[in-house]
């Protein structure tokens, strides 16, 4: 693994998996660009990274706002002559039944998780191609591989990322663009607390299943290794990731289990 002096842009770097990734890359001497909305939290993560790398900068971004993403990308690309890695990690989850969720909540989740990553990737790709290549990752979810109760829009947004980034990989292979889809199961972060409900408000609770998941720093260590190996798709988590294989190879069993899945 050699991330020394590599320029790595991470979204969702203020918390959870993004924060843990930033610290792992900092320990390897990478040059980091940390992005999310909350600059106070980003400053705390930068402070942790500064113990290991001299090159850590904050560029705040709102992934639900196309104009803001383009402006931020312009600023970043003016400050850096290359971007080696773009890690599309920022996102929000959902805790609401389909039938009760107004479409504007579906759109908010889709804007952040799907169009946010798409807009930022399109802003960075020309630079990567110009510089002779680059590596783009997207953090999706096991529910980007199958449906799950209370997550209809979230699951849809993560499925969409698979379609988009598989296509980017196929189209840009000859321009030396590597694409890794990271597919986490349950990782211990604030994702359920930060999830939105049918009113579009913060759910505010740590799910039991979430709390018993894989620690974020273990997850980040595995992701860093998968990126070094240029994996095309990487499942990370506990036994829950088996559902991905069940959905693929034993669909009838999946349909039976899906109707009995515990929602949290
Ligand atoms: N934890 C899990 O079990 C799990 C499982 C599968 C997939 N994932 C995926 O992993 C990624 C990271 O989530 P996490 O588990 O680390 O949860 P988290 O602790 O809630 O972190 C989410 C990150 O996304 C950022 N974010 C949210 N909305 C944003 C917006 N509009 N613009 C910019 N940044 C935004 C947040 O920063 P600000 O609030 O500062 O903007 C935060 O840094 C997400 O894509 C999530 O869907 C997590």
The CA dihedral of 179, 6, 21, 94, to the nearest 10 degrees, is -40
Q: Which residues contact 87 (CB under 8 A, 6 or more apart)?
A: 8, 9, 10, 11, 18, 21, 137, 139
The whole-number pLDDT of residue 89 equals 98
Q: Give the 3-state secondary structure of residue 189.
A: coil
Neighbour tally for 195: CB within 10 Å = 22
The whole-number pLDDT of residue 111 equals 98
The mean pLDDT of 90-98, rounded to a whole number, is 98
Residue 172 has pLDDT above 90, yes or no: yes
Residue 138 has pLDDT above 90, yes or no: yes
264 band by pLDDT with thresholds 50, 70 and 90: low
Q: Ligand 1 centre from 89 Cα, in Å?
A: 6
The whole-number pLDDT of residue 259 equals 82
The mean pLDDT of 115-134, rounded to a whole number, is 98
The secondary structure element, H or E, covering residue 43 is: helix 39-50
Q: Which residues contact 186 (CB under 8 A, 6 or more apart)?
A: 209, 210, 212, 213, 214, 237, 238, 240
CA distance 229 to 246: 26
The whole-number pLDDT of residue 194 equals 97
261 band by pLDDT with thresholds 50, 70 and 90: confident
Q: Is the CB of 91 under 6 A from ligand 1?
A: yes
The whole-number pLDDT of residue 209 equals 86
Q: Ligand 1 centre from 60 Cα, in Å?
A: 14
Q: Ligand 1 centre from 256 Cα, in Å?
A: 30
The whole-number pLDDT of residue 134 equals 98
Domains by residue range for the chain, with CATH:
7-258 (3.40.50.720)
Q: Ligand 1 centre from 91 Cα, in Å?
A: 4
The mean pLDDT of 206-210, rounded to a whole number, is 89
Question: Token pair for residue 227?
Answer: 């990126």
> For a substitution probing ligand 1, which of 9, 36, 188 has the most ligand atoms within 8 Å of its CB?
36
The mean pLDDT of 89-102, rounded to a whole number, is 98
Q: Is the CB of 53 under 6 A from ligand 1?
A: no
Q: Please provide the average confidence, as pLDDT, over all residues in the chain.
A: 97
Residue 227 has pLDDT above 90, yes or no: yes
Span 186-204, pLDDT tens digits: 999 999 999 999 999 999 9
Instruction: Output the pTM of the full model.
Output: 0.98
Instruction: Tell me the torsion sign for CA atoms 23, 120, 115, 135.
Output: negative
Q: Is the CB of 12 under 6 A from ligand 1?
A: yes
The whole-number pLDDT of residue 263 equals 64
Residue 262 has pLDDT above 80, yes or no: no
Query: Taking Cα atoms as reference points, which of 144, 155, 116, 147 lies closest to residue 35?
Result: 116
Q: Which residues contact 212 (CB under 8 A, 6 or more apart)?
A: 186
Q: Is the CB of 96 under 6 A from ligand 1?
A: no
Question: Among the options 154, 203, 254, 255, which is catalytic?
Answer: 154
Q: Which residues contact 69 (CB under 8 A, 6 or more apart)?
A: 61, 62, 63, 116, 119, 120, 123
Catalytic site residue 154? yes
The secondary structure element, H or E, covering residue 123 is: helix 116-130
41 band by pLDDT with thresholds 50, 70 and 90: very high
Q: What percent of the chain has pLDDT over 90?
A: 95
Ligand 1 atom with minimal separation from the 88 CA = 45
> For a substitution probing ligand 1, which of 15, 159, 196, 233 has the most ligand atoms within 8 Å of its CB?
15
Ligand 1 atom with minimal separation from the 37 CA = 41
Q: Across 49-176, where does the E strand assignment appear?
A: 56-58, 85-88, 134-139
Residue 149 has pLDDT above 70, yes or no: yes
> For a substitution probing ligand 1, which of 34, 90, 193 has the most ligand atoms within 8 Å of its CB?
90
Q: For ligand 1, atom 1, which residue shows the shortest CA distance?
A: 187
């Amino acid at each position: 693994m050699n991330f020394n002096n590599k320029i790595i842009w991470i979204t969702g770097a203020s918390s959870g998996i993004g924060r843990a990734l930033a610290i792992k890359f900092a320990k390897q001497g990478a040059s980091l660009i940390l992005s999310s909305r909350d600059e106070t939290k980003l400053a705390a993560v930068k402070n942790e990274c500064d113990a290991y790398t001299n090159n850590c900068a904050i560029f705040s971004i709102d992934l639900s706002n196309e104009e803001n993403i383009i402006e931020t990308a312009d600023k970043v690309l003016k400050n850096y002559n290359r971007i080696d890695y773009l890690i599309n990690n920022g996102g929000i989850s959902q805790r609401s039944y389909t039938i009760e969720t107004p479409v504007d909540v579906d759109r908010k989740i889709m804007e952040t998780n799907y169009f946010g990553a798409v807009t930022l990737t399109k802003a960075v790709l020309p630079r990567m191609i110009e510089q002779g290549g680059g590596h783009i990752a997207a953090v999706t979810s096991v529910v980007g591989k199958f449906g799950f109760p209370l997550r209809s829009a979230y699951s849809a947004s993560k499925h969409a990322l698979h379609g988009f980034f598989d296509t980017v990989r196929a189209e840009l292979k000859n321009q030396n663009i590597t694409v890794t889809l990271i597919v986490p199961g349950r990782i211990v972060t604030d994702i359920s607390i930060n999830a939105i409900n049918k009113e579009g408000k913060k759910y505010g609770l740590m799910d039991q299943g979430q709390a018993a998941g894989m620690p974020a720093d273990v997850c980040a260590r595995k992701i860093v290794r998968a990126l070094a190996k240029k994996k095309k798709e990487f499942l990370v988590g506990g036994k829950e990731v088996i559902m991905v294989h069940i959905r693929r190879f034993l669909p009838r069993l999946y349909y039976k289990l899906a109707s009995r899945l515990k929602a949290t």
